[in-house]
Chain A
Amino acid sequence: MTVPAADASTIEHARSTAASRIVLLGNPNTGKTTLFNALCGARAKTSNFPGTTTSIRSGRCDLDGVRLEVVDLPGVYDLRYHSPETRIARDVLGGALAERPDVIVVTIDACNLTRNLVLVGELLAYGQPLVIALNMVDIAQRRGLTLDAGEMSRRLGAPVVPTVARTGAGLDALTSAIVAAASGHAPVMRPDNLPGADETTEALTAWADDMVAHSVSGARYALEHDTLTERLDRAFTHPILGVMVFVGIMGGLFWTLFTLASVPMDLIEVTFAGLGDFIRAQLPAGPVRDLLTDGIVGGIAGTVVFLPQICLLFFLISLLEDTGYLARAAFVMDRLLYRFGLPGQAFVPLLTAHACALPAIMSTRLIPGRRDRLATILIAPFMSCSARLPVYVLLTSLIFADRPAFAALAFAGCYLLGGLAGLFSAALLGRTVLKGRARPMVLELPTYKFPSFTNAVLTARDQGVTFLQTAGTVIVAICVVMWWLSAYPKVAPGPEVQALRAQAAAPGLPAEQVEVLTARADTLQNRAEQAGSIAGRAGGLIEPFFRPLGFDWQLTVGVLTSFLAREVFVSTMSVLVGGGGEADVDAGVVDRIRTMTRNDGTPVFTTATSASTLVFFVLAMQCLPTLAVTRKETGRLKYALLQLGYMSAVAYVAALIVHQTLRAAGIS
């Protein structure tokens, strides 16, 4: 191994200058992310590449007192293929990030040298200091390969450092090489026989093959087969067995997700409820207290409560991805999704959308081809996200009051309805707005590996932070606005309320009776305030439009407010029946909402109305943050508007059909 020694003077030089900019590049599945995590660890942060929605991770690390700024670029096979990732890599190499990087560190897979060296060849043509991390040398040795890193380094004109990023072996030597390269003491040489930048991939491959022939000995290019891998591949992509494995793994994933996430979610709800009570106890009654407790604390709680599911989902997906299974699963799903004009890769975003549409839409960048990406983004919000859960719980228990088995069935039916609506909408889009079929699948099948726990934890953390940055501010703002719209203008207590309160204040009444009278007065006052508020008046105005669906003005208010964020539906309805605005669906809330009456005294939630409301919530696009992310990811406002318009129309028509059919059948 010929790593130029980082002597005292070079370190001194690097120390005297500002932080050196290091860029990490490499093919997918080469352990580049593991290497980045080993260098920067928990100090990394994720941000969008300027002008795009592709996220890149960056971090700082101090090596021997030398400060490095490390940017981890998305994995690319080469710099020629047209994809957002290669464009970013080319831009960064060309100096798009303020200044050109000082050193390029390229991670190459010791077990797949030729293809990895093609990228190295392209990078050498840029003439910038290059350090090569020859990763996974342990696996190569186990396969009987002898790698001469010194010979490779001499031929490439750049330091080649054997590493095992997973265990940290070779990292010291690598950092020394990086520091030496950053100090500018290592000369940049271009190998004489390197094909020019305008040469074909075939010429570069021939050069890479030649490089391998001179620096590697052992069993090469016998195209020897790995029996275990082939057996696993056959099982995982089998038309029947593969589907069974897929259903089993995904079922396990969701079971784990919902079981484990419920603990921190309950904890968050209790904590924020306690915080709200604490503030309520400290401050005098008035608009400031209401804003703080109902608006801001409620808004933050409503955002943070989704964090456990999102982090846990990404943790599990990262583990699965690391094992290599996801690439196989994509092929299993491709057979189904392709019929609906979606690529197999869409299954990861669609899976994610069952927790939240925001990270789902952000993860569509895995999908090559703009048409396919757009189709996936547009239908992702049809999947039943966790914000719909409390609404499903409420409405299914209203419809099937004493039959929990039917309620559970209806609950599962909601998930199915959302999924089917998404698939058929994708097919419809393929025939109309997004003409064409999904790109046929071509995917590298990486070797099966044991997943990295650290990588999964860091991925979960990054995604959680991104979610809070993207959604957090928007959701809190919405909650504050919603609170204002439904609390103002204030309505003076009516004569009935005043009479009740006077009655309660009469001396000599037993305590229980005072309580009953006060509660009735509060309920009446709450209803009057809701009806008189801006949201309530809007509900009254728009009510005729929703009447064919069986909605009265109160339900219309609930549906309207949930267009900004659907999770506020339960708390809005709860406020309307005089509760404290709990977002939690407990028996008390369900019973109170069941007894809600229309202005004419008949119940609001008949079976037909509950069913139509449920269908409406499954299908409607009721999430402002999602619209904001769709606009950002597609780059066009028209796609966000199309999503809103299309999903609302589908939801309205479906709810109308449900309500009218049930009524015609005599169920009301």
Chain B
Amino acid sequence: MSIPLTSLEPGEVARLADTRLDTETRSLLRSLGLTDASRLRVCKRGDPFIIQVRDTRIGVSRKVAGGIFVVHEDDETRRA
């Protein structure tokens, strides 16, 4: 069950499930390390929304954060 990134609290870890973003933005995020199914951690909510992917901290505007959908890590393991 994918949920919006914006519903996570700071410190929560999740896995990227889906994006509803324009291709340019999606491709920039991918270049920054947010590849499909990558793990991310929420550092800060609001605008900018700050996430950490591996060792990269990425700031995104509220609008972009709203287009990112994730699954909780435990959901992932349960399905597997």
Interface residues of A (CB under 8 A from B): 77-78, 80-82, 109, 111-115, 201-202, 205, 221, 223, 225, 229-230, 233-234, 237, 239, 327-328, 331, 334-335, 338, 344, 368-369, 439-447
Contacts and interface: CB of A to CB of B under 8 A. Distances in A.
A445 B31 contact: no
Interface in B14-51: 22, 24-25, 27-33, 35-41, 43-44, 46-48, 50
A441 B55 contact: no
22 contacts: A77-B31, A81-B27, A81-B28, A81-B31, A113-B55, A115-B33, A202-B35, A202-B37, A223-B41, A229-B57, A233-B50, A233-B59, A234-B44, A331-B48, A331-B61, A335-B47, A440-B63, A441-B48, A442-B60, A442-B64, A445-B50, A445-B59
A111 to B, nearest CB: 6
Contacts of B41: 223, 225
B43 A442 contact: no
Given A111-B55, A233-B44, A223 B61 contact: no
A334 B46 CA distance: 13
B43 A334 contact: no
Contact of A201 (B22, B30, B58): B30
Nearest to B33: A115
A442 B28 contact: yes
A442 B58 contact: yes
Given A77-B31, A115-B32, A331-B59, A441 B64 contact: yes
Contacts of B28: 81, 368, 442
Nearest to B41: A223
A225 B56 CA distance: 11
A344 B59 CA distance: 12
A237 B38 contact: no
Contacts of A447: 57
Contacts of B33: 114-115, 205
B31 A441 contact: no
A439 B27 contact: no
B13 interface: yes
Contacts of A78: 31
B52 interface: yes
B34 to A, nearest CB: 9
Which 4 pairs, one residue from A and one from B, show the smallest C-beta to C-beta distance?
A77-B31, A112-B55, A445-B57, A81-B31
Interface residues of B, number: 36
A230 B45 CA distance: 11
Interface in B53-71: 54-61, 63-64
A440 B56 contact: no
Contacts of A113: 55
Contacts of B63: 440
A549 B13 CA distance: 64
A443 B58 contact: yes
Contacts of B64: 440-442
B46 to A, nearest CB: 8
Given A80-B27, A444-B58, A445-B50, A230 B44 contact: yes
A237 B52 CA distance: 16
A455 B37 CA distance: 38
Nearest to B39: A223
Contact of B44 (A77, A237, A327, A444): A237
* Max chain A Cβ within 10 angstroms of own Cβ: one of B29, B39, B56, B64: B56
Given A115-B33, A440-B64, A82 B52 contact: no
Given A81-B27, A440-B63, A221 B35 contact: no
A29 to B, nearest CB: 10
Given A225-B52, A233-B44, 7 more contacts: A81-B30, A81-B31, A113-B55, A233-B43, A237-B48, A239-B47, A439-B25
A114 B33 CA distance: 8
Given A202-B37, A331-B61, A440 B25 contact: yes
A530 B22 CA distance: 59
Contacts of B36: 202
Given A112-B54, A335-B47, A439 B24 contact: yes
A331 B57 CA distance: 14
Contacts of B27: 80-82
Nearest to A77: B31
Contacts of A368: 24, 28
A442 B32 contact: yes
A217 to B, nearest CB: 16
B54 A115 contact: yes
A440 B61 contact: yes
A439 B26 CA distance: 12
A111 B35 CA distance: 19
